[in-house]
Amino acid sequence: MEKNTILAVVLCTLVMGGFYFMQVRRAQKTPAPVSTQYQSPVMPVADNGFERETPAPVLPREEQFFADPSSGAEKEENAIDPGPQEAEYVTIETGLMIVKLTSAGGDIVSLKLKEHYDKEDNVELILSGANEARAFSLAFGGLEARPETSFFYVNRGGLPEHSVEFYRDFAIPAGGVSSSSAGTFRLTKRYTFKPNDYMFELSISLVSLEGSSSQVFNFNGSAYTLSFGPQLGPKFEKLDNRYEYRNYITYINGKRKNAKVNDLIESRPAWAAISGKYFTFIAIPYLAQYGLSFSEKSEPGISSASRLNIIRPAANNPKDTYYFYLGPKTPEHLAIYNTGSNEFGLKDVNLTEAVGSRGFSFPPLEKLLKWLLLLFYNLVHNYGVAIILLTLLVKILFFPLTKKGSLATLRMQALAPKIKELQEKYKDNKQKQQVEMANFYKQEGYNPLSGCLPMLLQIPIFFAMYSLFNNHFELRGAMFIPGWIPDLSHPEAIVTFPEGFKLPILGWTALRLLPFIYVGSQLLYGKVTQTPGQQSNSQTKMMLYVMPIAFFFILYNMPSGLLIYWIFSNILTLVQQLIINKYFLPKQQVQESKPVIAPVKKKKR
């Protein structure tokens, strides 16, 4: 939970608890678009579950990591195939995603989810900067090596549906491997997607070619480095830990751990993940002896990068298989990799640990509230209305506690004059004062904590509600009121300022209505609940008037779903207080005004 939220929660708790204890104390004295660098007019040819685009114009080839012996004026007898001279794009479409790959390095340049949207387009999970994204690039060597960008051949024949293979031959430079003899080898990258799975498989092989001796591929201590980047989608303005964030996670020995950026992780995690607010990237490497490293190395045109590098140890003709998940970060989507009911047959991988929790949370309570929210949504088909109905249900269930707390507070105010009298009378004898106060409370049948405990019991509900409305995946893109609140996971706006303009001092980028409604409901509630004696007290005025205004600025950019909950919670609490004042308070006052008649003792004869 971000600092502003923690501050809001702490202040709220202090305000509620402090207000009550103040009465006791006084009586006793809280992305840029995908680059068109390689693009050419597209002539798709449907085949094997994907489309293959016509070759793009030839581009200047970047310097290769491996020297090409056929590039000189004289070709050696064993010169390798120079490979294609232009790039191709391949598009694979499954039931859940649209993936665009390039033969330049055999990398993925775009992966869009068909069932999830970012404004008018499908959400993009591989963000690019000023240059085209190159996810799953491979570099021969360790972290310092340059990714391979040579043009690969594309193979479609004889492969499973929704699969594609990229391959190219390379020469081994002198001193590039553990053996002193040079030779040639083939690098092959095969992607296998499934019709209805957010996970896909990437197989990588380095095989010495005929006529070359078997080699241990060891380039500066590593065979290769496989990298995901530059950033996990969807698009964002900044990572502010509220609307969007990136966490780095490893799963080691059955426990989830937060990883540090730029540290080389050699503790053999079962998987590693880059986790956003709603989507996640999870890598399940082939080996138990690989190295991992998270990086935030910047790139032109992208505000913040999040990369995962997998360093493959040196090996003899390595043939590796990796599984990668790129999709929604929800227990429902990730749990299938525990049960084996996924298209790769994976079991007990515990990917649900990637969901985790942020800040204070009460998972069982949050799970129950989520179930109720979905129940109401299935009835009304509007998450905004479902939030209001859930808030109403919670307020009804907790009304007995609310009533008890309110009556206890009013009772304390009624007893305040007598308590003050006792304090004055025994001000020089604190021990005697405490005894007399205890006797007085006992005589009146009053517990000083009776007004605070009902309020404290509702705090877990507050935290669970906050976590639910701030992180529930289905609220992403959920509309409440067309034209005003199109997305309950983001703040609404009635006026959006021009791009690049911020309101001086405040830093606002838009004028929002919900925060004003919230502070109005809070001030109205304070006005109704205060007693005549409190109106002249400066401390009470600060808590009832100044604090809501402070919260206005803290909550200004909160997600609209969360503000809707707080606003209607205030309104319903206000209604409950009016009901208590009208129907329950008079009965209590009548009962307290009745004289207590002591039983008449019979005289003994």
pLDDT at 86: 92
| Confidence at residue 239, expressed as pLDDT on a 0 to 100 scale | 85
* Tens-place pLDDT, residues 229-268: 999 999 888 887 777 899 999 999 889 999 999 988 887 8
DSSP label of 582: I
Cβ(370)–Cβ(362) under 8 Å?
no
Share of the chain above pLDDT 70, in %: 77
Spatial separation of the C-alpha atoms in residues 438 and 318, rounded to whole Å = 80
Cα–Cα nearest to 102, from 198, 166, 34, 59: 166
pLDDT 10s digits, 321-374? 999 999 999 999 999 999 988 999 999 999 999 987 665 667 788 889 999 999
Name the least confident of 74-88, 102-116, 278-292, 297-311.
74-88
Instruction: Give the domain ranges of the chain.
Output: 3-30+362-589, 46-237+279-328
- Compute CA 380 distance to the chain's CA centroid, rounded to the nearest angstrom: 26
Residues in CB range of 494: below 8 A, 6 or more apart: 484, 510, 511, 512, 513
Taking only the tens place, the pLDDT of each residue in 38-47 is: 333 333 333 3
Q: What is the pLDDT of residue 593?
A: 56
Under CATH, which number does the domain 46-237+279-328 receive?
2.70.98
H or E element at residue 307:
strand 307-316
Q: What is the bridge-based pairing of β-strands 216-228 and 199-208?
A: unpaired
The tens digit of pLDDT for each residue in 23-60 reads 444 444 433 333 323 333 333 333 334 344 433 333 33
Alpha-carbon gap, residue 508 to 501, rounded angstroms: 9
Name the residue among 466, 288, 482, 283 with its Cα closest to residue 370. 466
pTM of the model: 0.77
For 188-225, how does the pLDDT look when each residue is reduced to its tens digit (9 = 90+)?
999 999 999 999 999 999 998 876 666 788 898 899 99
What's the residue count for the chain? 605
Beta bridge partners of 308: 228, 294
